[in-house]
């Protein structure tokens, strides 16, 4: 008897000591195989160093489809970890902004939230009875010290894919999204990004969504390399060269080179050949030639080469083709166009991890050149079913009727995008100053640590424009197939990777294993398992009652 009381006392004492110790020593245990509840050290450091109060308002609440309920649960679990590690006052609020509102009031709330950057998503959710429409807000707002930033929780929504896949990718990116957004709100650091405009680059309308999206986190504008001076270049953190049409002068190249020597980041999105689908539709055919942009020597010294060729890929986007006229209305049919390849992100590179396919138009391959001290990482490739054509080459829409020989398309992966990092050599080292430069901007033969991405396509970051009202569509959205590609996410990833010296994009390396039920099996075996779950407990209860009855009868009969 004394031993029993002693054991009870020891257990109670251990529990008391454990609770007292828990007030002074903090630790969270994660027993999941994919460590989904373990925060990265970068996130922990940010939260531990934070002194300013933070409010996180999550608009994903209320009655949600099952897949979005899983996203909501993941957000709650993650933010609970953030609150546990944060030294500052971190307030977390979940709200459904449309609860209890009339239709008119709902429209007002939706518009007000849109002005703040909180966008609704209209879902077509598959149920056993068919499709149902549901309006949800997979968004959050982070506020601190009078500054706020909207956060998109649902990434890469693809009409051609399943919600489960999209939401799983979104869950994998949650920590990166929240940590990077909290850091931007706390620091108030908005690096400057400039899109070049002096060499026939796309208009503001064609780059509207790219610039508008980046403007949520950065200061974004256009850069004229003919007029910008050294002081203006020093204020820029990143420069984007998209689809130039005319030759770069030596003066423009000198300014670009200085920007790289000064540690600037450059995104090159270049068309080396002159192919355009609109020209094919207008003329019926087009002879495609090389462009003369005068950038080859510059990229070669930096460690990359965009080849003068065109990628054809069986994994391609579709284009509308007229098949006749019925009742005065043209009949359009979507047909795969092998010269619009869907480029695949290389999952080994964190800058493109978890991205959807990237839609390209008449893309060229990109090779790396041996440049000392430059780290090279391939980030975009073709599929295994590709073929590369050299130019000049005659194109026509009649090629759509051709059936490509599958055997000629079985080729090794081709690279269409490469990331370069390191101390780049100067293109103008030992050369005279070009016209218009009176004093050297720098005399360094090798620059400060810098980064650049070289992509062999100039259309990746252009958005489509609706001809009727001249309105821009979201970047990566194809109005013909109603499909959204990963072009916008690619741009945001590159911008974050280029402007964040803490390399928070490494947080994208988290892999959350998706464990979904087999829907076909569930449908087939649904009745069986319902019966098992209802009948089995009742049978067990009856069995134990009978056993207890006879056991007691046997026991006390003695």
- Say which residue, 81 or 259, is predicted with more confidence: 259
Same domain, residue pair 101 and 124: yes
Beta bridge partners of 395: 286
User: Which token pair is 223?
Assistant: 């850069």
- The pLDDT assigned to 170 comes to 81
CATH number of the domain bearing residue 420 = 3.40.50
- The pLDDT assigned to 319 comes to 85
Same domain, residue pair 233 and 217: yes
What does the DSSP assignment read for 144-155?
Answer: ETTEEEEEE-S-
**pLDDT tens digit sequence for 458-501:** 999 999 998 888 889 989 888 888 888 989 989 988 998 998 77
Same domain, residue pair 152 and 250: no
Same domain, residue pair 413 and 464: yes
Q: Is residue 360 part of a domain?
A: yes
**pLDDT tens digit sequence for 114-172:** 888 788 877 766 666 666 667 788 889 999 888 888 888 886 554 445 566 677 778 88
User: Which token pair is 336?
Assistant: 């795969």
Cα 119 to Cα 114, 139, 199, 501, distances in angstroms: 5, 7, 35, 29
Q: Is residue 28 part of a domain?
A: no
Cα–Cα distance, 230 to 553 (Å, whole number): 100
Same domain, residue pair 181 and 202: no
- The pLDDT assigned to 160 comes to 44
> What residues have CB less than 8 Å from 37, skipping those under 6 apart?
28, 30, 77, 81
The mean pLDDT of 26-37, rounded to a whole number, is 57
Main-chain dihedrals φ then ψ at residue 115, nearest 5 degrees: -65, -25
Main-chain dihedrals φ then ψ at residue 296, nearest 5 degrees: -60, -45
Q: Which of 468, 485, 502 is the last residue of a domain?
A: 485
Which residues form the domain of 532? 524-548
Q: Above pLDDT 70, what percent of the chain?
A: 86
DSSP 354: T
Main-chain dihedrals φ then ψ at residue 353, nearest 5 degrees: -65, 140
Q: Which of 123, 152, 186 is the last residue of a domain?
A: 186
pLDDT at 403 exceeding the cut of 80: no
Q: Is residue 14 part of a domain?
A: no
Q: Is residue 173 part of a domain?
A: yes
- The pLDDT assigned to 461 comes to 95
Same domain, residue pair 196 and 182: no
The mean pLDDT of 50-73, rounded to a whole number, is 85
Q: Which of 462, 485, 508 is the last residue of a domain?
A: 485
Among 211, 91, 71, which residue's Cα sits nearest to residue 142? 91
Same domain, residue pair 232 and 300: yes
Same domain, residue pair 198 and 173: no
Q: Is residue 8 part of a domain?
A: no
Cα–Cα distance, 208 to 198 (Å, whole number): 17
**pLDDT tens digit sequence for 64-119:** 777 788 888 889 988 988 888 888 888 999 988 888 778 788 888 888 888 887 88
pLDDT at 532 exceeding the cut of 70: yes
CATH number of the domain bearing residue 88 = 3.40.30
- Say which residue, 80 or 32, is predicted with more confidence: 80
User: Which token pair is 31?
Assistant: 């027993």
- Coil, helix or strand at residue 81: helix
Beta bridge partners of 185: none
- The pLDDT assigned to 130 comes to 61
- Say which residue, 314 or 22, is predicted with more confidence: 314
- Coil, helix or strand at residue 56: strand
- Say which residue, 26 or 403, is predicted with more confidence: 403
- The pLDDT assigned to 44 comes to 85
Least confident of 123-132, 241-250, 428-437: 123-132
Domain count of the fold of the chain: 3
Same domain, residue pair 312 and 391: yes
This prediction's pTM: 0.75
- The pLDDT assigned to 148 comes to 84
Least confident of 70-79, 325-334, 387-396, 528-537: 325-334
User: Which token pair is 91?
Assistant: 């307030």
The mean pLDDT of 349-377, rounded to a whole number, is 89
What does the DSSP assignment read for 85-133?
Answer: H-SS-EEEEE--TTTT--HHHHHHHHHHHHHTT---EEEEEEETTEEEE
- Coil, helix or strand at residue 310: strand
Cα 392 to Cα 156, 288, 355, 387, distances in angstroms: 36, 5, 33, 16
- The pLDDT assigned to 67 comes to 77
Same domain, residue pair 365 and 479: yes
> What residues have CB less than 8 Å from 305, skipping those under 6 apart?
296, 299, 366, 367, 368, 369
pLDDT at 31 exceeding the cut of 60: no
- The pLDDT assigned to 310 comes to 94
| Arithmetic mean of pLDDT over the chain | 84
CA 151, chain centre distance (Å): 13
Same domain, residue pair 180 and 194: no
> What residues have CB less than 8 Å from 227, skipping those under 6 apart?
none
Q: Is residue 109 part of a domain?
A: yes
Same domain, residue pair 80 and 204: no
- The pLDDT assigned to 307 comes to 95
pLDDT at 457 exceeding the cut of 80: yes
Extract the runs of DSSP E, i.e. beta strands, from 382-442: 386-390, 393-396, 415-425
Beta bridge partners of 95: none
**pLDDT tens digit sequence for 272-315:** 998 888 777 666 777 888 999 999 999 999 999 999 999 999 99
Q: Is residue 2 part of a domain?
A: no
What sign has the CA pseudo-torsion 196, 201, 207, 210?
negative
- The pLDDT assigned to 211 comes to 93
Q: Is residue 557 part of a domain?
A: no
């Amino acid at each position: 008897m004394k031993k029993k009381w002693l054991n009870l006392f020891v257990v109670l004492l251990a529990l008391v000591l454990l609770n007292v110790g828990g007030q002074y020593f903090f630790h969270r245990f994660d027993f999941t195989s994919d460590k989904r509840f373990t925060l990265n050290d970068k996130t922990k450091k940010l939260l531990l160093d934070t002194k300013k109060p933070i409010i996180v308002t999550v608009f994903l609440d209320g009655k949600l489809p099952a897949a979005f309920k899983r996203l909501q649960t993941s957000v709650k679990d993650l933010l609970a970890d953030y609150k546990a590690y944060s030294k500052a006052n971190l307030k977390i609020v979940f709200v459904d902004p449309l609860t209890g509102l009339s239709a008119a009031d709902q429209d007002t709330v939706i518009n007000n939230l849109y002005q703040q950057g909180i966008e609704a998503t209209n879902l077509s959710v598959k149920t056993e009875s068919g499709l149902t429409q549901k309006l949800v807000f997979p968004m959050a707002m982070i506020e601190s010290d009078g500054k706020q930033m909207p956060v998109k929780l649902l990434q890469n929504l693809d009409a051609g894919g399943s919600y489960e896949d999209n939401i799983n990718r979104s869950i994998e990116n949650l920590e990166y999204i929240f940590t990077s957004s909290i850091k931007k709100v706390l620091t108030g650091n908005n690096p400057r990004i400039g899109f070049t405009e002096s060499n026939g680059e796309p208009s503001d309308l064609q780059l509207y969504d790219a610039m508008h999206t980046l403007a949520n986190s950065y200061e974004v504008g256009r850069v004229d390399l003919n007029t910008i001076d050294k002081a203006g270049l020093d204020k820029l953190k990143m420069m984007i060269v998209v689809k130039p049409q005319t030759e770069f002068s030596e003066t423009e190249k000198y300014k670009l080179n200085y920007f790289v020597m000064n540690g600037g980041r450059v995104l090159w999105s270049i068309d080396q050949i002159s192919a355009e689908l609109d020209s094919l539709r207008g003329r019926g055919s087009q002879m495609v030639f090389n462009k003369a942009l005068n950038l080859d020597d510059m990229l070669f010294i930096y460690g990359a080469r965009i080849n003068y060729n065109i990628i054809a890929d069986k994994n391609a986007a579709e284009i509308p083709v007229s098949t006749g006229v019925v009742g005065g209305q043209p009949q359009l049919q979507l047909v795969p166009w092998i010269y619009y390849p869907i480029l695949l992100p290389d999952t080994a590179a964190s800058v493109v991890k978890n991205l959807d396919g990237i839609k390209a138009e008449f893309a060229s391959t990109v090779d790396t050149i041996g440049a000392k001290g430059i780290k090279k990482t391939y980030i975009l490739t073709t599929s295994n079913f590709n073929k590369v054509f050299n130019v000049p080459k005659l194109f026509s829409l009649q090629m759509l009727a051709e059936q490509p020989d599958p055997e000629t398309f079985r080729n090794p992966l081709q690279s269409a995008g490469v990331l370069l990092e390191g101390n780049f050599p100067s293109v103008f080292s030992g050369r005279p100053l070009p016209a218009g430069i009176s004093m050297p901007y720098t005399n360094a033969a090798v620059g400060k640590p810098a980064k650049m991405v070289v992509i062999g396509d100039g259309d990746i970051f252009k958005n489509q424009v609706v001809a009727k009202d001249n309105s821009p569509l979201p970047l990566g959205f194809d109005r013909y197939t109603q499909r959204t590609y990963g072009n916008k996410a690619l741009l945001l990833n590159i911008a974050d990777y280029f402007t964040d010296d803490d390399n928070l994009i490494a947080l994208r390396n988290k892999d959350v294993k998706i464990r979904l039920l087999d829907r076909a099996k569930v449908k087939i075996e649904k009745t069986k398992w319902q019966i098992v779950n209802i009948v089995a407990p009742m049978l067990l209860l009856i069995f134990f009652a009978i056993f207890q009855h006879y056991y007691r009868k046997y026991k006390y009969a003695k």
